[in-house]
Amino acid sequence: MCRLFALTSRDPVSPMLAIDALNVMKEGHDGSGVGLYLSGLGGPFEDLKEYPVLSGIFTDAGLRRLSEYMTEKGFSSKYSVMFKPDTEPPVGTPKRGTYASIAYELPPEWKDLDKDDLGERLVKTRLELRAEGEQTGDIMVFSFWPDTIMIKEVGDPMAIGEYLQLGREEIHARHILAQGRQNTNYAINLYACHPFFIEGIGTMTNGENTAFIPIKEYLQSRGVTGYQGYQSDSEVFTHIAHFTTKKLGLDISAYKHVITPMNDDEMKDHQDREFLSSLKKACRKLIIDGPNCVIGCLENGTMFMAQDRKKLRPGVVGGNPELGMYAFSSEICGLNAAIPDRDKSQDFQPMHLDTAIVGPDCREVVKCSQKDPLLLQR
Amino acid sequence: MLSERPITPSTLSRKDLPWQVKWDIQTCTKCGRCTSVCPVNAIELGVFRKREIKTSMGLNAKPVNEFSTFYGIRQRTDPAYACIGCAMCNMVCPNNAIEPVRQEHSTTLQFQNNRGGQSRTRGGRRNSGESLLDQLKFIRISMLTDPALDAGRHEFDVRTLLGRVLSPENEIKCFNENGWKPPVREIYPLVIGSMSFGALSPNMWEGLQMGVAYLNEELNMPVRMCTGEGGCPPRLLRSRFLKYVILQIASGYFGWDEIIHAIPEMKVDPCAIEIKYGQGAKPGDGGLLMWYKVNKLIAAIRGVPQGVSLPSPPTHQTKYSIEEAVAKMIQSMSMAWGFRVPVYPKISASSTSLAVLNNLVRNPYAAGLAIDGEDGGTGAAYNVSMNHMGHPIASNLRDCYKALCVSGAQNEIPLIAGGGIGKNGNLAANAAALIMLGASMVQVGKYVMQAGAGCLGSEKDRCNVCNIGVCPKGITSQDPRIYRRLDPEKVAERVVDFYLSFDTELRKVIAPLGRSTSLPIGMSDALGVSDKHVADRLDIKYVI
Ligand code: SF4
Ligand code: SF4
């Protein structure tokens, strides 16, 4: 099963911290890939919060094509971090070219767009580039969003970390999602590597989602730009989080009510029972099935963890409010490795009704149970 | 039988009959039970004459003829009385001295069935044993990432929704604005399909109702049963059990007067209203209750004279088009119950199913669509309709589900599939396959008669005399001398039994697939079939 590790911190930290934690949990993943989601960027990106960052992998031809394409659209590049490894890649990792994160100045006519329109256009641009890259094999893009970098590669996390020098100052971040992948049901494909990302929301999962096809078909039929791809059976979790928060306007604490609603008995005495049961009916197609643990990060840096009731070994959340650092880990050993200096008695393992949430201030773990009254609107 | 038999084009020999009655002179005690129970009078007492030549021991005496007469059972060869293979004679024979034997290669009776220029009508199922649903396999077993679930111990949510479900956006909007929400029922996904009071005997009906009530009230399984055309007993209409009943209104409107008049006195709302436009056994045809079965009680409930055949017209005659019919009927039925009861149409699977569905998607009051495939139906129909008309359910349902996916309404309009589910006994597997192809729930009729009351009908044209009121088991007869045979309590018990075993089997199918918290509607990745064309058509995996 994949290993998950997420870190949220008041000050930017090196992604290698997360990779090290994955390495400690090594037994559980086969190292067939690693994915990183970084937001709350430090370093040179600190002052570029407004500008969407395109991250991906490009061949030389791909880079040329990219710059033509972006210029054509009216984007001008503001700052870029290009990394072209000069060492031989580790076993199993192909030589791909340049790993780039480029911040762009928006085309002038986009500047007056409202947030939703702008978001949709950014998603469209990413999808167009992705589609183009899928034909030529020269371009792979994982995200195009302000204050967000995504890095994915096949191979063992530690080896990739060293190969891509992930400890570089330029990509230090406050919020990091990292996954050591175990490739299971599908052929190895970089786009299938967690975490997944859409419009400011990144999530990653371990487990198996047996309701994948009906959920995928449902999401695809919602008419939302960006609900496509679905190379992995858990890509849908990200989109459900997006749908719940952005399209339905619910708080992230309602996410669990959508993916794993309570049964009638549990719901019986709930003060919002009427709303919850209608939500359950309307969102029936989004109910997930199979043991799953989901860790995700929202646009404002809020991080959360939830699991369904079949997850026998839930993930764990712990941290140190003084340090201003919290970690979400699928295994306790990863948490121990990353934040050894913490009050372990405060560690929290969210069970089947719980969502653990750490706000961007990294002060405490908010434990919400599905039995709690709802915070309806965001 | 004449000693000198005439030979005309339509005379048959015993050899020509598909069912031959084997009678054993040695064990028969001549009690006469078989002839009295035979529903079609295929056998009669016969007097036989026998000559024996007696030769004595000595040489002096000459051999003599000795004549004797004895009594036995004779099978009639008149096509009108051909044995239907029901084996009731065997069931009542104390010594197993008699039984029907099928003779596969005699086809002659088929050519003689249409006597007096009348085509053959019958009840039962299509005369074909093949079933595509039986070929489908469940291939996506969760083994790798996580082990399969435990069917026996895990908690399962085997329920489904009947009624128009709003989209998440509209649901929240409606909640916030306190708007009108279409009624939705949470029910068990296996529904007892429409078999009318009139087609079924009172004992059968009572048995089913008792079984359903027990399942609901004692076992917490929200099972629902549809009435079929022909109304509903007045006492049931005014009882609290009405909530377990789906009332059907069909093109003949039989019994609806009674129902409408009972509305002010109803203690509870019915589960739903089904508007019948078509049925699997005779698509494009109306219902047909033949005069044999229209006795006093049925006549009273249906509001018709006694002893006349009751054909329903093929369409709702007061409506101009299907679009109008669907819209108006749904509207007026919803209105009759104050918009508190889901109303949905039932059509036979056909090439126009999609058109009907398209009409429903835009109708905010439409609560679902029931599609009945070619294998469905229990009532009287022409042999030719039953055997050759209609569309198989699997691809029809799949097309409809996919159309819903395109319009994003797959959670909103539930599809109810019927027709041939469990025809070879594989009820749970067939139902699960249809659910994974996109059905929100399935309905069964014939299976209920077979498993619940021991109906003898088969796909080999066994029995199938439901239409003429002589059902040997008392299931589809309105003759008290016959339906007395059926004990309602036992029917109820059997209904409960097969529901419980269905439930276990369904879990045994969905647990290894890793599903437990919601019904696997549309989980088409779980299905595989070893026929490439089928796989392509249904958009499932091709496996060999
Ligand atoms: S099998 Fe049925 S129809 Fe045939 S002789 Fe026996 S009782 Fe009559
Ligand atoms: S047993 Fe009765 S219901 Fe069954 S096929 Fe025969 S006549 Fe019809």
Span B286-328, pLDDT tens digits: 888 888 889 888 888 888 899 888 888 888 887 777 778 888 9
Share of chain B above pLDDT 90, in %: 61
The secondary structure of B448-488 as a DSSP string is: HHHHHH-----TT--S--GGGT--TTSSS---HHHHTTS-H
Query: A289 and B167: CB-CB below 8 Å?
Result: no
Among the residue ranges B106-110, B152-156, B498-502, the one predicted with the least confidence is: B152-156
The verdict on whether omega for the bond into residue A195 sits within 30 degrees of 0, i.e. cis, is yes
Q: Which residue, among B142, B175, B411, would best test binding to A if mutated, counting the most A CBs under 10 Å from its CB?
A: B411
Q: Give the nearest chain A residue to B166 (CA atoms).
A: A282
Residue A303 to residue A79: CA distance in whole angstroms:
27
**pLDDT at residue B132, as a whole number:** 93
For the B14-54+63-106 domain, the top CATH level (class) is: alpha beta
Q: If you average pLDDT over every residue of chain B, what do you get?
A: 91
Report the gap between the CA of B208 and the closest CA in chain A (Å).
27
pLDDT band at A233 (very low <50, low <70, confident <90, very high): confident
Write out chain B residues lying below 8 Å of A309, CB-based. 155, 517
The CATH number of domain B133-458+488-542, selected from 3.40.50.300, 3.20.20.70, 3.40.47.10, 1.10.510.10:
3.20.20.70
Query: Which value, in Å, is the radius of gyration of the alpha carbons in chain A?
Result: 20
Query: B155 and A288: CB-CB below 8 Å?
Result: no
pLDDT band at B346 (very low <50, low <70, confident <90, very high): very high
Query: B411 and A213: CB-CB below 8 Å?
Result: no
Mutate to test the pocket of ligand 1, among B14, B28, B36, B40 (most ligand atoms within 8 A of CB): B40
Q: What is the number of the ligand 1 atom nearest to the C-alpha of B87?
A: 1
Is A44's pLDDT higher than 90?
A: no
Chain mean position to CA A140: 17
pLDDT digits (tens, 9 = 90+) for B462-474: 999 998 989 999 9
> Taking Cα atoms as reference points, which of A181, A201, A172 lies closest to residue A297?
A201
Domain spans, chain B:
14-54+63-106, 133-458+488-542
Write out chain A residues lying below 8 Å of B146, CB-based. 1, 207-208, 290-291, 310
pLDDT digits (tens, 9 = 90+) for B195-243: 888 889 999 999 999 999 999 999 999 999 999 888 898 999 999 999 9
**B449 CA to middle of ligand 2, Å?**
8
Query: A310 and B149: CB-CB below 8 Å?
Result: yes
pLDDT band at B147 (very low <50, low <70, confident <90, very high): low
Q: If you average pLDDT over every residue of chain A, what do you get?
A: 87
Residue among B169, B171, B514 minimizing CB distance to A289: B514
> Taking Cα atoms as reference points, which of A359, A267, A350, A258 lies closest to residue A311?
A350
B471 marked among binding-site residues: no
**Could you tell me which residue, A322 or A27, shows the higher pLDDT?**
A322
**B422 CA to middle of ligand 2, Å?**
17
Q: Nearest ligand to the C-alpha of residue B473?
A: 2
Report the gap between the CA of A220 and the closest CA in chain B (Å).
8
Using a 10 angstrom Cβ sphere, with 0-12 exposed, 13-18 middle and 19 or more buried, the burial of residue B296 is: exposed
Q: Is A247 on the interface with B (CB under 8 A)?
A: yes
Residue A48 to residue A101: CA distance in whole angstroms:
12
Residue among B146, B154, B515 minimizing CB distance to A211: B515
Residue A256 to residue B358: CA distance in whole angstroms:
33
pLDDT band at A236 (very low <50, low <70, confident <90, very high): very high
B93 marked among binding-site residues: yes
Report the gap between the CA of A284 and the closest CA in chain B (Å).
7
**pLDDT at residue B303, as a whole number:** 85
> Taking Cα atoms as reference points, which of A26, A297, A32, A292 lies closest to residue A150?
A297
What secondary structure letter does DSSP report for A95?
P
Q: Which residue, among B174, B517, B523, would best test binding to A if mutated, counting the most A CBs under 10 Å from its CB?
A: B517
Residue among B145, B406, B525 minimizing CB distance to A1: B145
The helix/strand/coil state of B393 is: helix
**Could you tell me which residue, B98 or B125, shows the higher pLDDT?**
B98
**pLDDT at residue B9, as a whole number:** 84
Q: Nearest ligand to the C-alpha of residue B457?
A: 2
**pLDDT at residue A378, as a whole number:** 39
pLDDT band at A183 (very low <50, low <70, confident <90, very high): low
> Taking Cα atoms as reference points, which of A251, A364, A252, A367 lies closest to residue A8?
A364
The CATH number of domain A4-49+147-369, selected from 1.20.1540.10, 3.60.20.10, 3.40.50.12160, 3.50.30.50:
3.60.20.10
pLDDT band at B110 (very low <50, low <70, confident <90, very high): confident
Residue B92 to residue A168: CA distance in whole angstroms:
91
Does residue B473 have its Cβ closer than 6 Å to ligand 2? yes
Write out chain A residues lying below 8 Å of B409, CB-based. 221
Write out chain B residues lying below 8 Å of A211, CB-based. 515, 518, 520, 523
Among the residue ranges B154-158, B426-430, B435-439, the one predicted with the least confidence is: B154-158
**pLDDT at residue B192, as a whole number:** 95
**pLDDT at residue A291, as a whole number:** 84
Query: A210 and B168: CB-CB below 8 Å?
Result: no
Residue B471 to residue B442: CA distance in whole angstroms:
26
> Which residue puts its alpha carbon closest to atom 3 of ligand 1?
B83
Please check whether residue B432 is in contact with residue B509, taking contact to mean a CB–CB distance below 8 angstroms. yes
Mean local confidence (pLDDT), B365-387:
88
Q: Is A279 on the interface with B (CB under 8 A)?
A: yes
Q: Give the nearest chain A residue to B183 (CA atoms).
A: A278
Write out chain B residues lying below 8 Å of A283, CB-based. 168
Please report, to the nearest 10 degrees, the dihedral formed by the alpha carbons of residues B281, B286, B291, B295 taken in order. Answer: 90
Is B404's pLDDT higher than 60?
A: yes
Q: What is the 3-state secondary structure (H, E, C) of B113-129?
A: CCHHHCCCEECCCCCCC
Q: Give the nearest chain B residue to A278 (CA atoms).
A: B171
Pairs of residues, one from chain A and one from chain B, whose beta carbons lie less than 8 Å apart: 114
Query: B146 and A222: CB-CB below 8 Å?
Result: no
pLDDT band at B3 (very low <50, low <70, confident <90, very high): low
Is A194's pLDDT higher than 90?
A: no
Q: What is the number of the ligand 1 atom nearest to the C-alpha of B34?
A: 7
Q: B-contacting residues of A 290-319, CB under 8 Å?
A: 290-291, 308-310
**B200 CA to middle of ligand 1, Å?**
21
pLDDT digits (tens, 9 = 90+) for A72-102: 888 888 888 888 888 888 887 888 888 989 9
Mean local confidence (pLDDT), A182-187:
58
Mean local confidence (pLDDT), B10-28:
91
Q: Give the nearest chain B residue to A1 (CA atoms).
A: B145
Residue A43 to residue A95: CA distance in whole angstroms:
27
Among the residue ranges B377-391, B431-445, B483-497, the one predicted with the least confidence is: B377-391
pLDDT digits (tens, 9 = 90+) for A359-368: 998 888 999 9
**Could you tell me which residue, A29 or B232, shows the higher pLDDT?**
B232
Please check whether residue B387 is in contact with residue B431, taking contact to mean a CB–CB distance below 8 angstroms. no
Q: Which long-range contacts (CB under 8 A, 24 or more apart) does A297-300 make?
A: A297/A6, A297/A8, A297/A37, A297/A39, A297/A175, A297/A177, A297/A201, A297/A202, A297/A203, A298/A200, A298/A201, A298/A241, A298/A245, A298/A252, A299/A39, A299/A199, A299/A200, A299/A201, A300/A360
Query: B514 and A282: CB-CB below 8 Å?
Result: no
**pLDDT at residue A31, as a whole number:** 67
**For B428-457, b where at least 16 C-beta lie within 10 A, e where not — what string?**
bbbbbbbbbbbbbbbbbbbbbbbbbbbbbb
Q: What is the 3-state secondary structure (H, E, C) of B49-71?
A: EEEEEECCCCCCCCCEEEEEEEE
Mean local confidence (pLDDT), A254-262:
92
